[in-house]
Amino acid sequence: MSTTLSIEWRKQTYQSLEKSWHNGGDRPGLSDDEYALIGRYGEIRNMLERDGIWPPTVSPERNRFCEALREVLSRLPQEAFDKVDDKVRFLLDDPSLKMLAVNAPPPPSSDLSGRLGIDTIVFFRLCLDLTPKALIGLIAHEIAHSFVCGKDYLEDKILAEKQAPKWGFGPELACLESEKEQLFKFGLGATG
């Protein structure tokens, strides 16, 4: 789905996409926007089911992370969603795992030619202590890094901080900043 649509994606929640999927799948005469909503829901499900998040385990932590990721993916503009779907993978440091390391393989290529330049975003277990709203902000911020290119880490971070609000994640980013202050107050973690 690479055409630009009139839908304002930031207003779409995963639940509204799922409702469109269930209510409109068999209905003739759907508008382009309704087809787009149904298609987005299917693409998100496909991304999460085809090892878009590594490691592919089942746990409450992973389910919580997937809920936040679904919300971010539901609200991204189409062009951003397409790039994430094609070039970004997620690695979750799930506390239920008994592992020392994991190698996240690249996703399968639809044309079997392989994919170059895939970003793998690693989420450490501390992020699972965030509220759902702050976790959505963190995911949106980290995805934004895949869309900007600063000359150094600081400039890249500033550019990412400007990109995510353009997608409509301002309130979630504010919540993230507030919660990060609490984490740092106790000497824990950092985000990129």
- Which tens digits make up the pLDDT trace of 70-105? 889 988 988 898 888 888 888 888 776 655 555 454
pLDDT at res. 9: 44
Number of domains observed in the structure of the chain: 1
Q: Is residue 154 part of a domain?
A: no
Residue 34 lies in a domain: yes
Answer whether residue 186 shows pLDDT above 80: no
Asked whether residue 29 is domain-assigned, the answer is yes
Please check whether residue 16 lies inside any domain of the structure.
yes
| Residue 68 placed within a domain | no
Give the Cα separation of 140 and 161 in Å (integer): 9
What global pTM score does this model have?
0.68
Q: Is residue 123 part of a domain?
A: no
Q: If pLDDT is split at 50, 70 and 90, which confidence band does 114 have?
A: very low
Q: Where are the alpha helices (DSSP H) in the chain?
A: 14-24, 32-49, 60-75, 78-87, 132-144, 153-166, 170-185
Expressed as residue numbers, the domain containing 38 is 12-50
Q: Is 182 helix (H, G, I), strand (E, B) or coil?
A: helix
Q: Is residue 61 part of a domain?
A: no
100 in any annotated domain = no
